[in-house]
Structure 1
Amino acid sequence: MGIYVIRVPDIGEGIAEVELVSWHVQPGDRVSEDQHLADVMTDKATVEVPSPTHGKVLALGGSPGQVMAVGAELVRLEVEGEGNLKENAAPAPVQQAPAAPVSVAAVAPAAAAPVAAAPAPAPAPLRPAAAPRGTPAVVRKEGERPLASPAVRRRAQDMGVDLRYVHGSGPAGRIGHQDLDTYAAGQGQPAGQGASPYVERHGEEQIPVIGLRRKIAQKMQEAKRRIPHFSYVEEVDVTELEALRQQLNRLHGSTRGKLTLLPFLVRAMVLALRDFPQINARYDDETGVVTRHAAVHLGVATQTDGGLMVPVLRHAEALDLWACAAGIARVAEGARSGKAPREELSGSTITLTSLGALGGIASTPVINHPEVAIVGVNRMVERPMFRNGQVVARQLMNLSSSFDHRVVDGMDAARFIQAMRALLETPALLFVE
């Protein structure tokens, strides 16, 4: 038997270190060639680290949230044959495998607040909401956190389920959505049904800010620290635009795809930016240089299980409505699945953000540094309006925008949004060159 050391890979682009986001194996596990061992994150993307060989995990070289240098020891395997570890090589500090089988190590989901260095006392044990039939009983140790994704944790919290009592069928005991479904179906009723809703709850959870959540926190903090934001909100009557959208979907939806309002908003933005090039720009405040771009590389704010990402739809100015709709769907899905290529995760010149049906009345979006503007779309609602002395029902929607006041004057920002409004309220103008 020999020892095979897997090191932090060189991902290229001059990257010297990565952040360890999560483990998919634990000491004592047997792994096969190409099996997914860990996730590491650079400034631009999350990268999966596969195993180059078969073997047994002896030790792990770090914990989630730790920043590791390229070439540092990541995983130590016991393999058939000689392995690749030299006898005189100094051993790296690793988590040693215990003699007895170990329980699943806790991998914390991403969260929105920093965590203290010292761990908090373990939460008091809670009773399971229901004991599912046909599912092995799971009793984890005091303070032990089950392995699950942030999405699964959020869903369990909404269901009132304590994950410590849920059996995980995934690798290393990871709990998935199907495990929650199995647990909830154990009594033929939703988890927690039949229990009193007026029960005191005790316990607390510390969630390290690691991986994507750490990058989001750093970027948001940097944007607010460096950019003097000012926001501008305008109401837009989109009645005719909505009628046009529905008509186009009736005529071409089955062959060219369904259209949402976003492609129309992108088209209006592209046309308005022709008269306001200072808004389609990036500001390097270290050198004091504003770079105006002829191309509109649109950042599409996208919510993922791990947090907010902004993939980039390149050359939006060259896309018709259906190509734009397909492009937005493609880059958003790439971000959600974690498979977006690096070139689609940077280089945007202006960003569009929308919360869809949750858009609210108004918002104050944060600029995607080093851009100088962001436009947010709020919820469309039907409200009464006066038109020609008559009260009529109209479809209204607010545009909420933020600008970098160092390089965009308030008057120019207002005129830009008014230009978008004029195009959206008379949608035929979107197709007039």
Structure 2
Amino acid sequence: VCIHRVRSCSGIRFIKSKYVCVFDKSALKFSHQQRLLRTSAVSCGQIVQFKLSDIGEGITEVTVKEWYVKEGDSVSQFDSICEVQSDKASVTITSRYDGIIRKLHYNLDEIAYVGKPLVDIEIDASKGVAPEEDVVETPPMSHEEHTHQEIKGHKTLATPAVRRLAMENNIKLSEVVGTGKDNRILKEDILNYLAKQTGAILPPSPKAEIIPPLPKSETVPAAPKDRARKIPVPVSRPIAFSGKDKTEPITGFHKAMVKTMSAALKIPHFGYCDEIDLTQLVQLREELKPLAQIRGVKLSFMPFFIKAASLGLLQYPILNASLDESCQNVTYKASHNIGVAMDTEQGLIVPNVKNVQVCSVFEIASELNRLQSLGSAGQLGTNDLSGGTFTLSNIGTIGGTYAKPVILPPEVAIGALGKIQVLPRFNGKGEVFKAQIMNVSWSADHRIIDGATMARFSNLWKSYLENPASMLLDLK
């Protein structure tokens, strides 16, 4: 028997089959300020329709990628119910109630809409809401509901005490990398994440033992093997010929790419290319890699590229700006949130390193490690994927020297980095020497950026990388 709101009479009697339910007007509560869910009174509990809440970023629909429960399963608070994917990120929805799953409203790969029922959960009426009252759901994305939604790709392993600590400090578990067994998030992981956000320094965990790198003399013989291992080997896969064309909907990150690239076509692109001699930077990185390893951070070339770009943006802030849709106003961004294009199994994603202008090279490297780890696991959150102001695409890790990068609106510039090659070059005396050469390809919005500005920025960025010591003069 379904409960309905009643205004006109003091008592109502429903008679159906063998069940008789009597309601009194005073037992029914009505509020214009809140939304109400219909519930069904059953012999063993109360059915609550759990709705998909607002995920943010203007998302109105998502695709159901995986169910972690089935009808008849028991769930507790914080248990993962399902994974959904928007055009921006993967989201794992967790339960707000203790109860039993009675109905799944969607099948896999179906579109679920924000504000519509996701599952029906049977709860204990004595522990939950009264059996003869409407269940009141607060407006979407309230603080309580927000803490039960986590952006990630699979069920998070953490104790209730750890979850409570994360909630009290407004930390999303999806942004914390667990160091426990099976990637379980420990109390130390939350404290370390909190310390990073607040700038506090915590003592290193005794569990993480860093093995110092071997002397160069011992690692030199292995270099030819390492180089041989980097040669791409064709993957042989059995060719299956079905004889039929297949049509499938565009969803998830591919759907986001369609929207972004369609908007990018409206931008008149200006291209500029150059080559960079990274010989000194290659030597410097080799010297710093052992120090970074001792700190537990993998040091690549990308942190240097990003920091050099940020120093260049300080001199040419128009490259770190955005243009409104009417092309009447330019907004100069205070933060240098530099995006890094990543190729993942889910497709192309571009997380960004926040506030590069106040970060050291080591801090950038540490943040890149975190983003790469989350990206590989499909756990990047919306915060990691939004707010970018400038982008670098390291296409050279796959191959190629030059590219024609496409600007990601509302940004106005992007750079594509080619692979590093050992090539002969001439020095000032006319002598041939072995140089580490990388090509860079820039694209800029020609509506507000002219060729001279792009060239000057590229020259400054190039000078920082060809003479890494010169960056020390401008570091803050």
Tell me the TM-score range normalised by the shorter chain: 0.5 to 0.7
What is the distance in 1 between the residues matched to 2:129 and 2:117?
A: 12
TM-score when scaled to structure 2? 0.60
Which residue identity lines up with residue 415 of structure 2 in the other structure?
A: V
- Change in Cα spacing, 1:282 to 1:7, as seen in structure 2 (3 Å) is same
**How many aligned residue pairs are there?**
327
- Matching residue within 364, 368, 371 for 2:411: 371
Aligned to 1:417: 458
Report deviation, 1:371. 0.5
Report deviation, 1:379. 0.7
What is the distance in 2 between the residues matched to 1:244 and 1:312?
A: 25
Aligned to 1:427: 468
What is the distance in 2 between the residues matched to 1:303 and 1:335?
A: 9
- Change in Cα spacing, 1:250 to 1:394, as seen in structure 2 (3 Å) is same
Report deviation, 1:395. 0.9
- Change in Cα spacing, 1:283 to 1:415, as seen in structure 2 (3 Å) is same
Report deviation, 1:372. 0.3
What is the distance in 1 between the residues matched to 2:57 and 2:337?
A: 24
- Change in Cα spacing, 1:268 to 1:360, as seen in structure 2 (3 Å) is same
Q: Secondary structure at the match of 2:319?
A: coil
Per-residue deviation, residues 231-280 of structure 1 (Å, max 9, x unmatched): 22211111111011112224554247442111111121122222211111
Counterpart check, 1:408 vs 2:449: yes
Aligned to 1:183: none
- Matching residue within 261, 265, 284 for 2:305: 265
Aligned to 1:311: 351
Counterpart check, 1:40 vs 2:80: no
CA contact (8 A) 1:381 1:397 kept: yes
Aligned to 2:114: 69
Aligned to 2:248: 207
Report deviation, 1:37. 2.5
Aligned to 1:8: 51
Which residue identity lines up with residue 423 of structure 1 in the other structure?
A: Y
CA contact (8 A) 2:52 2:113 kept: no
Counterpart check, 1:17 vs 2:57: no
Superposed, 1:43-62 pairs within 5 Å as 44-51=88-95, 52-61=97-106
TM-score when scaled to structure 1? 0.66
- Matching residue within 349, 359, 364 for 2:389: 349
Aligned to 2:267: 227
Superposed, 1:88-127 pairs within 5 Å as none
Per-residue deviation, residues 114-148 of structure 1 (Å, max 9, x unmatched): xxxxxxxxxxxxxxxxxxxxxxxxxxxxxxxxxxx
Aligned-residue sequence identity (percent) comes to 29
What is the distance in 2 between the residues matched to 1:234 and 1:56?
A: 60
Aligned to 2:211: none
CA contact (8 A) 1:229 1:403 kept: yes
- Change in Cα spacing, 1:328 to 1:76, as seen in structure 2 (3 Å) is same
- Change in Cα spacing, 1:294 to 1:77, as seen in structure 2 (3 Å) is closer
Q: Secondary structure at the match of 1:406?
A: coil
Which residue identity lines up with residue 206 of structure 1 in the other structure?
A: T
- Matching residue within 310, 318, 325 for 1:278: 318
Superposed, 1:26-37 pairs within 5 Å as 28=71, 30-33=73-76, 34-37=78-81
What is the distance in 1 between the residues matched to 2:102 and 2:53?
A: 22
- Change in Cα spacing, 1:216 to 1:62, as seen in structure 2 (3 Å) is same
Which residue identity lines up with residue 362 of structure 1 in the other structure?
A: Y
Superposed, 1:82-231 pairs within 5 Å as 202-224=243-265, 226-231=266-271
Aligned to 2:195: none
Q: CA RMSD in A?
A: 3.4
Q: Secondary structure at the match of 2:410?
A: coil
Report deviation, 1:338. 4.3
What is the distance in 2 between the residues matched to 1:15 and 1:3?
A: 32
- Matching residue within 440, 446, 449 for 1:399: 440
Aligned to 2:156: none
* Runs of 5+ unmatched residues, structure 2: 1-43, 135-234
Superposed, 1:238-249 pairs within 5 Å as 238-249=278-289
CA contact (8 A) 1:27 1:60 kept: no
What is the distance in 1 between the residues matched to 2:239 and 2:103?
A: 47
- Change in Cα spacing, 1:394 to 1:227, as seen in structure 2 (3 Å) is same
Report deviation, 1:85. 12
Per-residue deviation, residues 153-198 of structure 1 (Å, max 9, x unmatched): xxxxxxxxxxxxxxxxxxxxxxxxxxxxxxxxxxxxxxx99x9x78
Report deviation, 1:419. 1.6
Which residue identity lines up with residue 261 of structure 2 in the other structure?
A: M
Which residue identity lines up with residue 40 of structure 1 in the other structure?
A: V
- Change in Cα spacing, 1:17 to 1:356, as seen in structure 2 (3 Å) is same
CA contact (8 A) 2:308 2:471 kept: yes
Report deviation, 1:16. 7.2
- Change in Cα spacing, 1:260 to 1:25, as seen in structure 2 (3 Å) is closer
Higher mean C-alpha displacement, 35-44 vs 399-408:
35-44
What is the distance in 2 between the residues matched to 1:339 and 1:201?
A: 34
